Structure 1
């Protein structure tokens, strides 16, 4: 997730509706799999799992929602896909201070497989925990830099995903947050959040060892794609991004941060005009974050990109709408004929077309497109957000410490 205080304030208006932010036994059950999680074991086996583990994901108001099932009987949850955080959590009843959601909240009392974590348990993840509650429950608090917050109880539950052949894959004992007090910039389709960072509590870290490694891939459909059109999130073996057109850039570890996926941006080309980063290029200067809509660049690079894009768009920018502020926006009744941008990462050049770089200021706005890049004077690192990630099959391999990209029509993936 991106901190809202790092946005240009006018972009915050434009993007008002967006928020930022071990296994040891397998047994067959019907035509799917039940996986018992035993985290103390260091000897993993995935020989019995042949299918690719998947979950559908779709777009809604600048965020991407992944479907999975939780509990017994299983209840469908749509959670925001967030590569910038680790905790998996859902809104749970009773919810004393929660944001509005259109679907019923998860009720732990109605699930036969729900188990609270005791604050004395080694699964009570200390970075999220304050003082032990009188009931000895592992109460957690997990905050985001945009002031969004979830509070509740750490628990274990059965989570069901689907294989690429349509078989249900049920995973017992997944650690998650049952949120009883959740506030912030969440829309009414978000029933929680699926942390996909590199830390130990994320979904990929919890299930990866069973399915052939800590790796996953995603394909995000373009902004404003109908919510009924889904693409796929894939986990473990079989999720690798391969074939013609694939480019790869290394992940960079920064300051003992296990969660974030940092990569190194060398510069940006607007058409054939190359704009390098400043002379002192630091490794790991961009964060690949599916929970942040726009790209965020350091001021010195943003200013040059702004000027070059403006010079290459054959339209006059909007200057008579105060609500848009200084953002670079244009009126057109057809798709904007803007320049292509190439992000030059270490070892990987990513070409972005106007569908990835010019976005309506709100989903309801017709005939206006704004540059989906903003600035931050002290943006370290910058953000490579979900607008720019669309129509690329992106593979995160935590074991090899690389990110791979392949141009793809994600509406057909």
Structure 2
């Protein structure tokens, strides 16, 4: 489905220990991945990730254009190329899994009775078994807090979300105790889904919303405990173990750490925007043609805040990076000029720029220049082997979407600790060997 946390690469989150407990994440192509399809080749998931990235980017584009139909760590496991996070809901805690999604705000899980649901291999949450479960009435302030909420039957507030591939979920808006790792949070808002369908995987039960909305997102709801801070670290090592961290342990600083303003748009509160000023390929500088205003003198978290509208979304749920069409044309040309090899065609016609990997491909230095932060992209994430003997560029044009959205995807974040601080309104990048966390 379009809003899944779809990543083909190793996703090694910032290592953290919470009350003496650390929980692992498994690479989608690792033999230890319990959800890996046995027939999947080692290249199959990158092809699927390309298709999923297009679907997800299309979904984000629809959202942007108004088309809406204490610190802790927790396990995140992959599911069919996406990653799911283990958590518990209710009292006593009922363990389940949800797709971790920075492009969604509402956390929801399938609930009994389920009148129209997708098959799931996990037990389904029964709200009748939880002593702390409570539905929200139609006249509550909660019910009027989101465009996804409306009044349902029996005076119960109802949510409805439709994703880019027309997968959807409908159910009751409720509150219950949410347990992440060994930390319990009372009165967390979530959706109890009774009608859910589409392309959801059978190895999960719903979505964990990690977007930037100030009401429904887990990040917003747990703000008092985590202070709007979370961090992750991405690796290409299939055998890496990984974690996601929130709160004080998610602070990213020190040598080589660079920060850029995190730009929030009230009308698009879910998404995390950055301002991309230019890209350097080798020694050639390519300027983004979209208007860029001057940076104001106001500071938050020791970073000057931008008086600009962000022009690119940073989204760990999208595998590829999508550049504005005009920038991509000059970018691909510069990459071709910088690589002393002859391009070859992708036999499946998926990727626009590929090379034979039989030789030692000389990948140029590619630097994304955000406001106040120069981020050199890892060659391991910029060119990826998509089949035997063929490596392809993972940065493509937004024109392939038929959309006007630019996205900085997770392959461009390889081997950086990426820390979000919603209070200081910054995103910080720090180089790291994420396979060793």
TM normalised by structure 1 equals 0.78
Deviations 1:40-64 (CA, angstroms, capped at 9, x unpaired)? xxxxxxxxx5xx3222334555433
Partner of 1:278: 289
Q: Is the 8 A contact 2:369 2:375 kept in 1?
A: yes
Give secondary structure in 1 for the equivalent of 2:75.
Answer: strand
Give secondary structure in 1 for the equivalent of 2:250.
Answer: coil
Partner of 2:25: none
Instruction: Please point out which of 406, 417, 424 is paired with 1:400.
Output: 424
Query: Matches of residues 215-294 of structure 1 in structure 2 within 5 Å?
Result: 215-222=229-236, 225-226=238-239, 229-254=240-265, 256-278=267-289, 280-281=291-292, 283-294=309-320
**Shift of residue 143, structure 1, vs aligned partner:** 2.8
**Shift of residue 220, structure 1, vs aligned partner:** 3.1
Deviations 1:228-272 (CA, angstroms, capped at 9, x unpaired)? x43222222332111111100002233543322111001111222
Which protein is richer in strand relative to its size?
Answer: 1
> Does 2:329 align with 1:318?
no
Range 275-284 or range 338-347, more displaced = 275-284
Partner of 1:357: 382
Q: Relative to structure 1, is the Cα distance of residues 203 and 336 closer, same or farther in structure 2, using a 3 angstrom cutoff?
A: farther
Instruction: Please point out which of 185, 191, 209 is paired with 2:205.
Output: 191
Give secondary structure in 2 for the equivalent of 1:318.
Answer: coil
TM normalised by structure 2 equals 0.74
Partners of 1:335 and 1:84 in 2: CA distance: 37
Q: Relative to structure 1, is the Cα distance of residues 407 and 79 closer, same or farther in structure 2, using a 3 angstrom cutoff?
A: farther
Give secondary structure in 1 for the equivalent of 2:172.
Answer: strand
Q: Relative to structure 1, is the Cα distance of residues 267 and 143 closer, same or farther in structure 2, using a 3 angstrom cutoff?
A: same
Structure 1 runs (4+) greater than 6 angstroms displaced: 1-4, 11-14
**Shift of residue 277, structure 1, vs aligned partner:** 0.8
Q: Relative to structure 1, is the Cα distance of residues 319 and 119 closer, same or farther in structure 2, using a 3 angstrom cutoff?
A: same
Partners of 1:247 and 1:386 in 2: CA distance: 18
Partners of 2:365 and 2:113 in 1: CA distance: 49
Partners of 1:114 and 1:333 in 2: CA distance: 58
> Does 2:210 align with 1:210?
no
Partner of 1:330: 355
Deviations 1:158-203 (CA, angstroms, capped at 9, x unpaired)? 11123xxxxx111111111122233445444443222222211111
**Shift of residue 152, structure 1, vs aligned partner:** 1.4
Q: Is the 8 A contact 2:351 2:392 kept in 1?
A: no
Partner of 1:411: 435
Give secondary structure in 1 for the equivalent of 2:279.
Answer: strand
User: Cα RMSD between the aligned structures?
Assistant: 3.0
Q: Relative to structure 1, is the Cα distance of residues 137 and 337 closer, same or farther in structure 2, using a 3 angstrom cutoff?
A: farther
Aligned residues: 365
